[in-house]
Amino acid sequence: MYSRLRNLIADTHTLKVFVGIGNLLRRDDGVGVYIVRKIKENQHIRVINAEVSIENYLGKINTFNADMIILIDSLFLGRKAGYWQLLSPQELGDFSTHTHNISLRMISELFKSEILILGIQPASVSFGEGLSHEVQTNADRIIRVINTD
């Protein structure tokens, strides 16, 4: 898993926009927001913190003319908490987010760029603040990989 993300980050000839999606008041659902708040922007990495309103950021995201957009969100992958996976929108069919008004697959059709979804299995999306230990541990690992230049 990490090698694919490392290779994506190592490609300094492409502009990537990381978009954090999630609700900070629904525990692990806020993992996408947690991650983008800690990503260091540079010439080939930009971030957008969309929280629960990604539809409000479509125009802004498209103005980057990015080579790739990576949507970061909690995703029910049927795995243990903290497990994460990079998926194409076409691979989302079997997975669910349940916490958003519009599906990531539908949103991905509104972008001009190539889309990947970095989905992270939540332990809990119940009301409350803070990430579970498992989700935060893997989120911190993802952040370290992205911030490695």
| Residue pLDDT, tens place only, 76-89 | 999 999 999 999 98
Start-end of H helices in 1-149:
2-10, 31-38, 58-63, 104-108, 133-146
- The yes-or-no verdict on residue 54 having pLDDT over 80 is yes
In tens, the pLDDT along 104-134 reads 667 777 788 899 999 999 999 999 999 999 9
Q: pTM for the whole thing?
A: 0.91
DSSP 3-state of 56: helix
Residue 89 has what pLDDT? 86
Residue holding tokens 């989302």?
92
Residue 31 has what pLDDT? 98
Phi-psi category of 51—alpha, beta or left, where left has phi over 0 and alpha has psi -120 to 50? left
Tokens describing residue 53: 């309103």
- The yes-or-no verdict on residue 100 having pLDDT over 60 is no
- The yes-or-no verdict on residue 93 having pLDDT over 90 is no
Residue type, 18: F
d(CA 28, CA 125): 5
Residue holding tokens 């913190």?
49
- The yes-or-no verdict on residue 95 having pLDDT over 60 is no
Number of domains observed in the structure of the chain:
1
Which residue range forms the structural domain that includes residue 101? Answer: 2-146
List, in order, residues 6 or more apart from 133 with CB less than 8 Å away.
none
d(CA 129, CA 143): 20
**Which among 109, 75, 113, 67 is positioned nearest to 89, based on CA atoms?**
109
- The yes-or-no verdict on residue 98 having pLDDT over 60 is no
Residue 88's domain is classified under what CATH number? 3.40.50.1450
